[in-house]
Amino acid sequence: MSASYFKDFETVQFEGRDSTNPFAYRYYDKDRVVLGKRMEDHLRMAVCVWHTFCWPGSDVFGAGTFDRPWHRGANDADAARSKREAALAFVEKLDLPFYCFHDVDVMADADGIGAFRKSFAEAVDHLEELQAKHGRKLLWGTANLFSNPRYMAGGATNPDPEVYAWGASQVRDCLEATHRLGGANYVLWGGREGYDTILNTEIGVELDNFGRFLNLVVEHKHRIGFEGTILIEPKPHEPTKHQYDFDTQSVFAFLQRYGLENEVKVNIEANHATLGGHSFEHELAMARTFGILGSVDANRGDYQNGWDTDQFPNSVEEWTLAMLEVLRAGGFTDGGFNFDAKVRRQSIDAEDLFHGHIGGVDTIARGLLRAAEMIEDGALEDFRRDRYGDWSGSLGTMIHDKGTSLADIADYAVKHDLDPQRRSGRQEWCENIVARTRS
Ligand code: XUL
Ligand code: CO
């Protein structure tokens, strides 16, 4: 039932910015070399299985609208198989290199820990075949420790150690599966690792258990020889009122507290950044600064809505600023851009899945071209460097010297009768550079 789902669609190809074909890329030209690297290698784009193949188009007020063939009955072995086949076929039709999944996205429903493990193992065998058949790779795998009612009070932060142990079983299996499938990263998004009210929550116990869990995951990664990166995905809230992995700065503090700052990086999601009261580029810049920029979940929120709308990226300006940060960070090593995005509930046709992804791919590709243009032009980078240039002068060096005290610096100011002159930050000039970029 699934092999035919995309039969009316050709593989999407680059046709250039003058193309009128809605099923072509206008900016994403995978072999084009930008700043010394092929576009495909810069962007490492991935399709996510959950929004694109599992979500039926339901919302809190209404049932699914999509009528995908694999959703017509129970999520049994046949349906799960069809869904996997459709997913990998779709990634190939888009000619993108990667996909991402949660354990529960790719398997048939199963009750009980033994049946769950068996069902997931069957899915992984099949995914291995499908990856070879369609020539696609796994950007990351992750275990879903938030949907099943057992996780209502969290996985690794649950008051009940039996739930914690169930979560350990899922994560062990999913990490090993990711390793076997050649995944480049392993993600942990702690959707329910937080609280709904402090009245019933021992934050200290929960954080320590969470830190221990992450240490155990890292230990297991090394034990099995997985060389990919372990990533935490920050989000401030939803479904919990407060999620412990609130944003990149909170995650970095958490990693330092539990001794993991050299082991774990972040998977930054655009919509999570804005939910946290930050811009997308703020989160990327913060991760770059701490040296923990791992990967990105590509999507966007809505300026009016205060929840995770997970729409496809469509703002070239936002993605220009984002790509500037990714390039400043030196680009991805294991990471990439995963479309953690879903078409709207009224976009019910197979072709809508193409429009969503094609638009997102081109927005990101154009952001890359524009950011590369700004880097090559150099004016913005030069201005920023010059702005801090005095820090390599004599006073800056003296301040940084470990032997210098607060009093030494204060005495310097008094002795030289310092009267610093104000210098423009040239914000509008900087913004005009972005707006005038031609690519
Ligand atoms: C939820 C979210 C997740 C993670 C993976 O907001 O972004 O889909 O990306 O669990
Ligand atoms: Co995400």
CB 185 within 8 A of CB 295: yes
Among the residues of 266-315, which ranges form H helices?
270-275, 280-290
- Rounded to whole angstroms, how far apart are CA atoms 377 and 437? 10
- Rounded to whole angstroms, how far apart are CA atoms 237 and 274? 11
Q: Which of 188, 269, 283 to mutate to test the pocket of ligand 1 (most atoms within 8 A of CB)?
A: 269
Q: What is the pTM of this model?
A: 0.97
pLDDT of residue 30: 98
Closest CA to 212 of 157, 173, 175: 157
Q: Among the atoms of ligand 1, which is closest to the Cα of residue 272?
A: 6
Report the nearest-CA residue for atom 3 of ligand 1.
189
Q: Is the pLDDT of residue 1 over 90?
A: no
Does ligand 1 have an atom closer than 6 angstroms to the CB of 233?
yes
CB 337 within 8 A of CB 268: no
Read off the pLDDT of each residue in 213-222 and give the average, rounded to a whole number.
99
Sequence-distant (≥ 6) Cβ neighbours of residue 157 within 8 angstroms: 190, 192, 193, 194, 206, 207, 209, 210, 244
Q: Is the dihedral of CA 340, 346, 348, 352 positive or negative?
A: negative
Does ligand 1 have an atom closer than 6 angstroms to the CB of 193?
no
Q: Is the pLDDT of residue 2 over 80?
A: no
CB 98 within 8 A of CB 139: yes
Give the pLDDT confidence of 53-106 residue by residue, as tens digits: 999 999 999 999 999 999 999 999 999 999 999 999 999 999 999 999 999 999
pLDDT of residue 3: 55
- Rounded to whole angstroms, how far apart are CA atoms 305 and 309? 8
- Higher pLDDT among residues 1 and 288, named by residue: 288
Q: End-to-end CA distance of the chain, in Å?
A: 42
- Show the tokens assigned to 251: 């995650």
Report the nearest-CA residue for atom 4 of ligand 1.
189
Name residue, tokens 């996997």. Answer: 84
pLDDT of residue 45: 99
230 SS3 class: strand
- Show the tokens assigned to 438: 């031609």
CA–centroid distance, 340 to ligand 2, in Å, is 5
Report the nearest-CA residue for atom 10 of ligand 1.
189
Catalytic residues: 102, 105
Q: How far is CA 4 from CA 69, 89, 254, 344, 350, in A?
A: 10, 10, 47, 23, 11
Give the pLDDT confidence of 327-351 residue by residue, as tens digits: 999 999 999 999 999 999 999 999 9
164 SS3 class: helix
To the nearest 10°, the Cα dihedral for 144, 147, 153, 159? -40
Give the pLDDT confidence of 346-392 residue by residue, as tens digits: 999 999 999 999 999 999 999 999 999 999 999 999 999 999 999 99
Sequence-distant (≥ 6) Cβ neighbours of residue 311 within 8 angstroms: 271, 299, 300, 301, 302, 341, 342, 344
Give the pLDDT confidence of 263-301 residue by residue, as tens digits: 999 999 999 999 999 999 999 999 999 999 999 999 999
- Ligand lying nearest the CA atom of residue 298: 2
- Rounded to whole angstroms, how far apart are CA atoms 289 and 409? 26
Report the nearest-CA residue for atom 5 of ligand 1.
189
pLDDT of residue 112: 97
pLDDT of residue 4: 79
CB 206 within 8 A of CB 162: no
CB 123 within 8 A of CB 84: yes
pLDDT of residue 369: 98
Give the pLDDT confidence of 122-173 residue by residue, as tens digits: 999 999 999 999 999 999 999 999 999 999 999 999 999 999 999 999 999 9
**Domain 13-377 coded CATH 3.40.50.1470:** no
Domain range list for the chain: 13-377, 392-435
Does ligand 1 have an atom closer than 6 angstroms to the CB of 189?
yes
Q: Which of 47, 48, 49, 50 to mutate to test the pocket of ligand 1 (most atoms within 8 A of CB)?
A: 50
- Rounded to whole angstroms, how far apart are CA atoms 49 and 102? 8
Give the pLDDT confidence of 389-408 residue by residue, as tens digits: 999 999 999 999 999 999 99
CB 80 within 8 A of CB 126: no
Separation of CA 183 from chain center: 15
pLDDT of residue 394: 97
